[in-house]
Amino acid sequence: MPALTQEKVYSALANVKDPELQLNIHELGLIYEMSIVKRAVNIIMTLTTPNCPFSKTFIQSIKKELLAIPEIETIKLSLTFDPPWTINRLAPEIRDQLIGVDQAPDHLQN
């Protein structure tokens, strides 16, 4: 069986998109940490807001995409809001394309 790599996991996660923005969770900077131990993937992630209406959808989609990879046997997914998500977590090219750094509200740029 081929080795499980972070690149393979991130490639699968690219299929999990925010339904409003149509950006994937990696581009949005929602993944804080990811580790692989044998056939287990451990992910610590956040959401753009603690009250995100898509939280269940994200979690279900992540598990679906990752379990489609034959090398993955188990997934541990943990949500954290420390530190809180800000636009600075966006991939730089996405941030500039969406809103431009100078136009973002101050409270989202910290």
1-47 pLDDT tens trace: 778 999 999 999 999 998 888 889 999 999 999 999 999 999 999 99
* DSSP state letter for 17: B
Task: Answer whether residue 100 is part of any domain.
Answer: no
Query: pTM score, two decimals?
Result: 0.81
| Whether the Cβ atoms of residue 46 and residue 78 lie closer than 8 Å to each other | no
**Residues 47-84 pLDDT 10s:** 989 998 889 998 999 999 999 999 999 999 999 999 99
**Residue 109 falls inside a structural domain:** no
Is 15 a domain residue? yes
CATH for 14? 3.30.300.130
For residue 21, being part of any structural domain is answered with yes
Max alpha carbon distance in the chain (Å)? 48
Domain enclosing residue 15, as ranges: 6-92
Select from 47, 44, 45 the least CA-distant residue to 21.
47
The number of folded domains in the chain is 1
